Amino acid sequence: MADLFSQDDAGESPLDENGRPAYTMAPLAVRMRPRTVDDVVGQQHLLGPGQPLRTLAESSGEPSAVGPSSIILWGPPGTGKTTLAHVIANAPGRKFVELSAITAGVKDVRRVMDEALQRRDLHRQGTVLFLDEIHRFNKAQQDALLPGVENRWVILVAATTENPSFSVVSPLLSRSILLTLKPLQETDIKGLLERAIRDERGLGGKIDVDADALDYLVRIAGGDARRALTSLEAAAGVALGEDNGERSVLHLAQAEQAIDKASVRYDRQGDQHYDVISAFIKSIRGSDVDAALHYLARMIEAGEDPRFLARRIIISASEDIGMADPTALQTAVAAAQAVQLIGMPEGRIMLAQAVVHLATAPKSNASYMALDQAIADVRSGKGTDVPMPLRDAHYPGAKGLGHGKGYIYAHDAPHSIAPQQYPPDDLVGRDYYEPTHNGAEREISARLERLRGIVRGQG
């Protein structure tokens, strides 16, 4: 357990061994951290007058009958969760304590609660507990927070990148206000970078940045403020390192040299995992091959397990293409086997081929829907006894029971199709499979009509 800010943070900045402000040695993203609510970039939907975050950041720390509620901040990395906690820490008259879900245990939580209760009763001082990555807390650890949150011994400010509905226990959710942070817009990122370039806490106007270089830094940040500032710092280092005695200018080539890969907003355990794979499958189903390839690339770049991707492609081949193009399943299975045999990064080529095949193939879910209808009938109790001619007649005594009597061997009939009752009595004439007129199912549809006519003795 550690306080987020020392006493020095409230007054003059301490000096390093060379007599310079110590904060100048910190990363640019730390130096540019907002100090007030009005300095925060983006998230204006949460920072308006009367909003819980603004109330928490501006209210007095003295306990009262009506006070700020505990909050859970949910959003992608780099959208300002920790920044908002730091702004709240600057509010006067309140003790600010930080715990990390990575290192803290139940004992640490209980100690914070005990100290907060004493602080409230003895000094009439409120406590804000900032808990980063609360989704890493197990149920017992989260349950330990409940007494303090419920009785307002602490005001909990918890941050998570994962959907709290899945990662936070219900009692804690019901006692907190859930605030969803949105990815920063490009205009937000651009304004943040421009401020960092001229601010004394940042680069202090020591370099100029070309418009193309600035646009590049904005684009590769992917809505992540922390990455944007880290990229600017790295690129500025390249520009300053090539200083020829004149005022340094950061050009596009230098920015590209410093940063060669854009941020991928994707969390393999969180909401983005489900959102992106959902968009991937729906793009294949919708026959948008370009969108499907985009989402495939996004998942590959984020380090998604290629076996997971291959499995989803196989499912799509049967669920969305089916008999409209029976070769789609063959391609999907072959791609999965190839990925397992070859591995990545070359395995991406086979995945791409399968995605292109599936996205551009004719679509049909007829076989999938047919089975669902058959299952629904079974679950509703339909389906009487198996017809006698179809029953097993191989064991002793079976024939005496009438099993197999009257069975017509299909290969003895013309075209190997025999008129015969196959379904139970109560399902005679029930059609499950209704092929589309897409792709290969166009031919299947015409053939099926003839088959049903012969088998049912109607043609």
Phi (first) and psi of residue 224, to 5 degrees: -105, 110
Q: What Rg value do the Cα atoms of the chain yield, rounded?
A: 32
The amino acid at residue 227 is R
Instruction: Say what the alpha-carbon torsion angle 137, 143, 148, 151 is, to the nearest 10 degrees.
Output: 140
Q: Tokens in use for 410?
A: 């299909």
> So what's the pLDDT on residue 445?
87
> So what's the pLDDT on residue 293?
93
Please indicate, yes or no, if residue 416 is contained in any of the structural domains.
Answer: yes
> So what's the pLDDT on residue 244?
56
Instruction: Say what the alpha-carbon torsion angle 225, 226, 227, 231 is, to the nearest 10 degrees.
Output: 100
CA distance 196 to 201: 7
Residue length of the chain:
459
At 217 the three-state DSSP class reads helix
Looking at the structure, tell me whether residues 150 and 38 fall in a common domain.
yes
Please indicate, yes or no, if residue 63 is contained in any of the structural domains.
Answer: yes
Looking at the structure, tell me whether residues 247 and 284 fall in a common domain.
no
> So what's the pLDDT on residue 12?
40
Please indicate, yes or no, if residue 7 is contained in any of the structural domains.
Answer: no
> So what's the pLDDT on residue 319?
93
For position 91, which CATH number holds? Answer: 3.40.50.300
From residue 3, how far is each of 6, 31, 160 by CA, in Å? 7, 18, 20
Q: What angle do CA 367, 373, 379 make, to 5 degrees?
A: 135
Number of independent structural domains in the chain? 4
CA distance 262 to 123: 49
At 156 the three-state DSSP class reads strand
- Helices then strands, counting H and E runs in the chain, come out as 19, 8
Beta strands in 189-301 (DSSP E): 207-209, 248-250
Burial of 320 from C-beta contacts in 10 A (0-12 / 13-18 / 19+): buried
> So what's the pLDDT on residue 2?
36
Looking at the structure, tell me whether residues 348 and 291 fall in a common domain.
yes
Please indicate, yes or no, if residue 85 is contained in any of the structural domains.
Answer: yes
CB 452 within 8 A of CB 414: no
The answer, as to whether pTM is greater than 0.75, is no
**DSSP code of residue 440:** T
> So what's the pLDDT on residue 243?
58
CB 189 within 8 A of CB 221: yes
Looking at the structure, tell me whether residues 329 and 404 fall in a common domain.
no
From residue 442, how far is each of 32, 435, 437 by CA, in Å? 63, 7, 4
> So what's the pLDDT on residue 246?
60
Looking at the structure, tell me whether residues 246 and 281 fall in a common domain.
no
> So what's the pLDDT on residue 15?
42
Residue 223's CB: how many other CB atoms inside 10 A?
21
188 Cβ contact partners less than 8 Å away, ≥ 6 residues apart: 41, 42, 225
Looking at the structure, tell me whether residues 117 and 54 fall in a common domain.
yes
Closest among 298, 336, 300, 342 to 316, alpha carbons compared: 336
> So what's the pLDDT on residue 95?
83
Q: Tokens in use for 284?
A: 């294949």
CA 257 from chain center: how many Å? 30
Where in the sequence is the domain holding 408, given as residue range(s)?
Answer: 377-455
Beta strands in 10-91 (DSSP E): 71-74
CB 273 within 8 A of CB 163: no
Please indicate, yes or no, if residue 370 is contained in any of the structural domains.
Answer: no
Q: Tokens in use for 83?
A: 């920044």
pLDDT per residue rounded down to tens, the chain (459 residues)? 333 333 333 334 444 444 444 445 688 888 888 877 777 877 778 877 777 777 777 765 555 545 567 888 888 777 888 888 878 877 777 788 888 878 888 888 889 888 888 888 888 888 888 888 888 888 888 888 888 888 888 888 888 888 888 888 888 888 888 888 887 888 888 988 998 888 888 888 888 888 888 888 888 887 788 888 888 888 888 887 765 556 678 888 888 877 765 445 545 444 566 788 889 999 999 999 999 999 999 888 877 888 889 999 999 999 999 999 999 999 999 999 999 888 888 899 999 999 999 999 999 999 999 999 999 988 888 888 888 888 888 888 877 888 888 888 889 888 888 898 889 888 888 999 888 899 888 888 888 888 888 888 886
> So what's the pLDDT on residue 62?
57
Looking at the structure, tell me whether residues 287 and 396 fall in a common domain.
no
Closest among 212, 256, 218 to 234, alpha carbons compared: 256
> So what's the pLDDT on residue 135?
87
Please indicate, yes or no, if residue 2 is contained in any of the structural domains.
Answer: no
CA atoms within 13 A on the CB side of 14: 9
Closest among 10, 26, 16, 165 to 93, alpha carbons compared: 10
